[in-house]
Structure 1
Amino acid sequence: MSASEAAKSGIPLNDYQGYSQIDFAFDDADVIEEDTLIAIIGRRKLEGGESIIQEKFVLNAAKRLVFIITENKYKGALDGSVPVLVQSLNWMEAAEEIDDLFLGDAEVWRRPSIGHADPLGGDFPVVTKDGHNVLDVIFTSPIANLAQVAESLDRVDGVVDHGVISKFPCTAVIASESGVSVIENVITNVAGDPAI
């Protein structure tokens, strides 16, 4: 919904600056895991001032999070990229530690800002407005426990944040050709199984 449509409907909108609590946050996650409603954001190219950190800050401040997605983004066995923000000065050390964590399950590539590049990100890697590099941890087979992946990434030196959204109440609104489904979850899945 655009700001003008919200205004016509009498829904007040504000910028998030200075608010410690917001009622609802809406997000179009890149993919959501069935049953757990754990989401991944940041797979798409980050444009201009976009930031995983800012997005997660708003999502975490919301009383209720609502994901609005199409049915092809709601999957039982997730694979593909988990974006990870790392400090630029020691990105290589963080990448090596992440690679060791998921050896055999994932490849770690530094995201290039233009075109395609080698795993090191080429001559022009993405540098966020906060000065971080973006690593794509690319899982080549289904991830057995996405919550455990998030917890493992949180413990790596040099990792600033990542694109896994978990551990808070959320709703998924899923659009398909046959209609709209709404799935509620009190708290998204937390890590329990050490398997990845």
Structure 2
Amino acid sequence: MPVLQCSSQQNTIAESKRAAAKACVDRFICSGTLLGLGPGEMDVVGVPVCDAAAHEAAFHGVPLVADGRATEAAVVVADADQFDMKANAALVGCAAEPQQPDVPRLLAALTTRGSASGSSSDTGPVLVLLVESSRADSWEEHAEQLDDIFLGDAELWRRSFAGQPENPRGGDHPYVSPQGYTIVDVRFYEGLKLYGENEPYDKIADEVQQVAGVAGHGLLIRRAAAAVIARPGDEGPQVVEF
């Protein structure tokens, strides 16, 4: 049986989303800013990052500029598919492939991965692996196999809990999920490589899946600066900066 939302609930959700959008604009956007537009309602001039944004922009009469000006965009706004407060992470693009996936990669302001290490690997893509870590040292056994695969092409960094200093071993408090998994970032110095050769992501994914203990994988092209969370009620929107 379908579940119907009453009009008051719909209005509350719409109001909370509008408040979140306003908080995002107030925090990150000023007069004259050129934006990269993802799905959502943004009454600004910008570059569409996906079909949905381009369609909505045309429908609402929002002026758009050519893709060639994407490098001028100071902010990219897109709906997140998932957000984990404890992990301090948001997932974008799970539902559909962007129309212009190169736009986020070109941006200078929001695409530089900050790191205290100053490692040159921070300029390249990052292969994110979910690795079994039921024992304190079990992840290291799997990491040794991964290190052989990416030797000379990337560094392996274990994720720490949010707020902890970066450390290849995860620091004093490495992240471990309730299911007993840890997250290992394979930070490439340049492009994606496998045994020293340039290879596409799907071929690299097939290789790492053969390593015992690897339960999942993903590709981090760049890092977002913040997430604005709509919360119905009197709490108002929450801005989380990464």
Please give the TM-score of this superposition, normalised by the length of structure 1. 0.49
Structure with the higher strand share, 1 or 2: 1
Structure with the higher helix share, 1 or 2: 2
Higher RCO (CA 8 Å, separation ≥ 6 residues): 1
Please give the TM-score of this superposition, normalised by the length of structure 2. 0.40
